[in-house]
Amino acid sequence: MEQLLLLIFLPLAGAIVTAFAGKSAKIVSTIFSVVSLGLALVMACNFIPNASTQFEVNLPWIADLGINFHAGIDGISMLVVLLTNLLVPIIILSSYNHEYKNPAAFYALILFMQCGLLLVFTALDAFLFYIGWEAALIPIYFICAIWGGKDRIRINMKFFVYTIAGSLFMLMGIIYLYLQNPSHNFDIQAFYALNLDSAQQGWIFWAFFIAFAIKMPIFPFHTWQPDTYTAAPAQGTMLLSGIMLKMGIYGVIRWLLPIVPAGVHDWGQVVIILSIIGIIYASLIAFTQKNAKRLVAYSSIAHVGLISAGIFAFNQQGMQGAMVQMLSHGINVVGLFFVLDIIFARVKTNKIEELGGIAKVAPQLALTFLIIVLGTVALPGTNGFIGEFLLLMGVYNYGIWATAIAGLTIIFGAVYMLRMYQNVMLGETNSLTITFTDIKGTEKLVLYTICALIIVLGVYPKPVLHLTEASVQHLLEQVNQKLNTVN
């Protein structure tokens, strides 16, 4: 119990200390994030990979309303807890060559967001889950609004309105489930046990799904994403793409599927169709992008569309593929945005047509970028391959037509990502890139770490699959059993 409380609130303590650390904020936040990663790794080593919930905390909070501070970790949540605690120190290290105005506030907000994310990924009480959901939004809004690029206020207002609107739908769903619960509490198992009819499950499904779909994002709820990713500071984009969108995927798996299986059964095909439309749409738009950062943003929409389709295919392969791909996507997309941040810091542009020849003057950057790109396009032997393979197998088990269309994401992705790499890294240098300098210091540390993870997880994915397998199997059995009861 103490371990989980420490895991959740250590980043919050770090945020408070960092806020008063002045010029030392960068170092202080790094120390807290690394300690959090160490604690997460210790918990992972002590975790038994079965279907049980471990490190559980269940303390009275607002007793009159049946609200407890109830949190715990199973195989599914352990994966995203590890991802969160892995990426936060990497993201902080990636900022070391930047000088931000008011760095204490900047790094404190990152750690505060980490606390909110960990609440989301461990909450076993719907009210606590909602608190974490909103708590993670506040710091990223200010990170993007204060340190973002041109037109950041308008873009962030759109992002904020989208996410708040989705959250309100989810809040209505949570309140309705609370009122239907004879025990009058927000406990996740009590919500799982509710016997709702198909009509009730249908509207609860959409109340939750809209909130999760906006966060992921899934077509047509994606329109806030490209502008926000582009205008946000690099570290804000990494937080959004690497970790925050996983909140939506996790919410679907942890809350949507087990609570309203009949709603998923009735509307799942619609979601798969939307996901596949998103894959094709985002891939085609990516082909037309002149800005490398926007290209990666649309690439992310396509990859998340495949994850969504795999989840709603509702079988072991699709669900396991979603687990692996959540981890792989988080690592790869942070690597991509960091490389683009390095390029922008040196030549002040991410416009593809203005770049070229960087490999000649920065071979180490070119090599690490190539490894990250190959992981993104799911080359066998990289971390992206096993996840996409399982996702496509899961979608194939759902329907051949869906696989034939969804599989285009691999072909399209390989074309636009490799073409982008070719135009940015290869060819002759120009007046902008001739003086380009290679990576050094923390840039090497971050990129070498990411590349090592891409290769190790690609060659040996068994620990990740073993971590989540029992929990995924238990979830599927639980949902199928409840679905049979409803029918």
* pLDDT per position as a tens digit, 258-307: 999 988 888 888 999 999 999 999 999 998 989 999 999 999 998 899 99
pLDDT value for 1: 59
The CA distance from 402 to 305, in Å, is 12
Provide the number of structural domains found in the chain.
1
Mean of the per-residue pLDDT values of the chain: 90
Q: Kindly report, residue by residue over 393-439, the tens digit of the pLDDT.
A: 998 888 888 888 888 878 888 899 999 999 999 888 888 888 888 89
Q: What angle do CA 451, 453, 459 make, to 5 degrees?
A: 105
Domain enclosing residue 185, as ranges: 2-486
Low-confidence ranges of the chain (pLDDT < 50): none
pTM of the predicted protein model: 0.93
Which residues does 139 contact at the CB level (< 8 Å), separation at least 6?
A: 109, 110, 112, 113, 116
Per-residue pLDDT at 486: 59
Of the candidates 368, 401, 382, the one whose C-alpha atom is nearest the C-alpha of residue 324 is 382
- 3-state class of 382 per DSSP? coil
Q: How far is C-alpha 208 from the geometric centre of its chain's CA atoms?
A: 17
Q: Kindly report the CA angle at 409 between 287 and 396, in degrees rounded to 5?
A: 160
Q: How many CB atoms lie within 10 A of CB 463?
A: 11
- CA-CA-CA-CA torsion sign (216, 219, 224, 229): positive
